């Protein structure tokens, strides 16, 4: 393993503190949206829907749930825009709404699927038995998306926020309402599970 493979901390490209111009533009856009300007609301949607959709898609694990969640996020945002004070960027504000919406959704679903999640948590991480890497160098996007979707909810949420979205463990912990250690543990379990899935996918794929 080379030094280059050892990651630099992943850069989080979501500024939390807006600059003066951004703040003024965000406040103006929020004001227009509040006043029923549908073009402004569409502008808001076009600017942020892509990033939010990726988040909710991977957190929820299915396109149907992701579409419903994205709709809920923007409808919720439309109702709550009055509370936007420009203390963060609109992007960050929407992102937090989306994370909270996803967590509510996952909590609701988890209540119905406790058995599945707990069984994975109880069995813990698999032992690192392989002596050579089993994850292919070029992972197919489809395989990876499918593997992420199959993770238990809590592991998936931590993995998506940390490895896909690039948040630090302390930020993930704050968003998920868990300790930093739990965030690390969930990401570790997710990586072990993904290694297992993707290793098996590679080994069983027709050659």
Partner 1 sequence: MTCEGYTERLGDYVDGTLDAADMGAVSAHLETCDSCRALASDFSRLRVAARSLEPALPPAHVWTRISAAVEAQQHRSGLRLPERLDGVPWWRLPERLDGVAWWRLPERLDGVAWWRRLRPIQWSPILAGAAVVVLLCGGAWIAWREVANAGRSRQSTTAASAKAVETFESELSLAEEHYSKAIASLEQITKSDANALDGQTAQVLQTNLAIIDTAIGQSRDALKAAPASEVAQQSLFDALRSKVALLQDTVALINEMRKGNQAGAARIVSGMNQ
Name the residues that contact partner 1, by CB under 8 A.
1, 5-10, 34-36, 38, 41-42, 45, 49-51, 53-54, 57-58, 63, 66-67, 70-71, 74-75, 78-82, 125, 128-137, 139, 141, 144-145, 148, 159, 163-164, 166, 168-169, 184, 187-188, 191, 194-195, 198-199
Choice between 20 and 36, CB closer to partner 1? 36
User: Please, what is the minimum distance in Å from the beta carbon of residue 207 to partner 1?
Assistant: 20
User: Please, what is the minimum distance in Å from the beta carbon of residue 54 to partner 1?
Assistant: 5
Choice between 154 and 195, CB closer to partner 1? 195
Choice between 15 and 133, CB closer to partner 1? 133
User: Please, what is the minimum distance in Å from the beta carbon of residue 190 to partner 1?
Assistant: 9
Choice between 18 and 195, CB closer to partner 1? 195
Give the DSSP per-residue string, 60-91: H-SHHHHHHHHHHHHHHHHHHGGG--SSS-HH
User: Please, what is the minimum distance in Å from the beta carbon of residue 35 to partner 1?
Assistant: 6
């Amino acid at each position: 393993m080379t030094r280059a493979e050892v990651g630099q901390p992943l850069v989080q490209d979501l500024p939390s503190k807006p600059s003066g111009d951004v703040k003024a533009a965000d406040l103006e856009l929020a004001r227009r949206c509040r006043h029923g300007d549908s073009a402004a609301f569409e502008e808001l949607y076009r600017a942020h829907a892509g990033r939010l959709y990726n988040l909710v898609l991977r957190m929820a694990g299915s396109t149907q749930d992701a579409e419903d969640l994205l709709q809920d996020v923007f409808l919720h945002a439309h109702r709550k825009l009055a509370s936007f004070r420009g203390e963060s960027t609109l992007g960050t504000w929407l992102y937090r709404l989306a994370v909270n919406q996803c967590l509510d959704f996952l909590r609701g679903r988890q209540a119905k699927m406790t058995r599945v999640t707990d069984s994975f948590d109880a069995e813990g991480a698999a032992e690192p038995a392989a002596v050579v890497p089993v994850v292919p160098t070029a992972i197919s996007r489809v395989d990876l998306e499918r593997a992420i979707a199959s993770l238990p909810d809590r592991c998936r949420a931590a993995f998506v926020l940390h490895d896909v979205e690039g948040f630090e463990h302390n930020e993930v912990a704050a968003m998920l309402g868990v300790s930093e250690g739990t965030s690390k543990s969930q990401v570790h379990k997710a990586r072990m599970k993904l290694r297992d899935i993707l290793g098996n996918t590679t080994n069983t794929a027709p050659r």
